[in-house]
Amino acid sequence: MIIIATINTQVPAQWRTLAPGLELGQFQSPAYCKKHEAGTYPHDHPHKNTTINILRIDTKQYEPVLMNASHPNQGESMTAKEWAKKEGMAAAINAAMYQTDHRSSVSLMKTSEHTNNPRLSKDKTVLLFEPLAKGIPEARIADRQCDDFDSIKKQYGSAVQSIRMISCDGKNVWQQSDKKWSIAAVGTDKSGRLLFIQSTAAHSVHDFINILQKLPISIDRAMYMEGGSPSQMYVGTPKESLEFIGDFSTGGKSSFAPHLPNVLGVRARR
């Protein structure tokens, strides 16, 4: 079930609490607002797919976890929904892009138990979680351009590296392009909460970042996780279950969620 809330980006955010520490905001994309008002949409983007879906997560109540098909105890590639159900996660989203072997992440990806890819690439942002010391954030996005990453990385057991969307000084770092596709991203807000972000409706990444910065979500940092048909997000709580699936970047609709070798999820803390 996909629930749609049409929200003016200029008014205070309206969030629905799915569980304590887990809130969902759904915002009508400004790129489609005129078509929404007129009742007309591109043939490949019907009304139900023109929202930007944002899951806001309190990491003091929900623990970020990384799942890999390459882990000997975690099995094979599955959809985000299947990963969440199998591993008892309240939500799951793409954990960065993967290589042609359909197992290895493009860049650094590891937990304290398993390394999927040990290589630190040129990409600027790394999501760090699984703290190894007390008194530090449960999760943070480190920016290698402005943070002392060599010191910070030693404080965490898990790391997922991917492409930066917003610079240290809050600037959109993606060049504009005519190419558009569905997008999955992960961010943090100015209060340190984790954001899972998904839009089935196609946007250029540059425009999508501009929209995120104008939405009333107090976004601070963000990193690109996946685009096109593989981009997906699932949320499953006792209150409701929601699955969002990306479209093909060529414009055709995806009728099913592709299997993912790596997902980022959250579990309720015990």
Cα 270 versus chain centre, distance: 24
Q: State how far the Cα of 217 lies from the Cα of 211, in Å rounded to an integer.
A: 11
Which pLDDT does position 247 carry in this prediction? 84
pTM: 0.90
Neighbours of 14 (CB within 10 A): 13
Tokens 């009304």 — which residue?
47
Q: State how far the Cα of 245 lies from the Cα of 257, in Å rounded to an integer.
A: 6
Q: State how far the Cα of 199 lies from the Cα of 222, in Å rounded to an integer.
A: 14
Q: State how far the Cα of 198 lies from the Cα of 29, in Å rounded to an integer.
A: 11
Closest CA to 173 of 209, 216, 218: 209
Q: State how far the Cα of 215 lies from the Cα of 89, in Å rounded to an integer.
A: 27
- Secondary structure letter of residue 165 according to DSSP: S
Residue type, 239: K
The answer to whether 91 and 23 are in contact (CB under 8 A) is: no
Strands 125-131 and 115-117: unpaired
**What SS3 class is residue 72?**
coil
Please state the φ and ψ torsions of residue 84, each to the nearest 5 degrees. Answer: -60, -45
**What SS3 class is residue 36?**
helix
Residue type, 167: S
Q: What is the pLDDT along the chain (270 residues), one digit of tens a residue?
A: 333 333 344 444 579 999 999 999 999 999 987 654 444 444 444 445 789 999 999 999 999 999 999 999 887 999 999 999 999 999 999 999 999 999 999 999 999 999 999 999 999 999 999 999 999 999 999 999 999 999 999 999 999 999 999 999 999 999 999 999 999 999 999 999 999 999 999 999 999 999 999 999 999 999 999 999 999 999 999 989 999 999 865 555 556 899 999 999 999 998
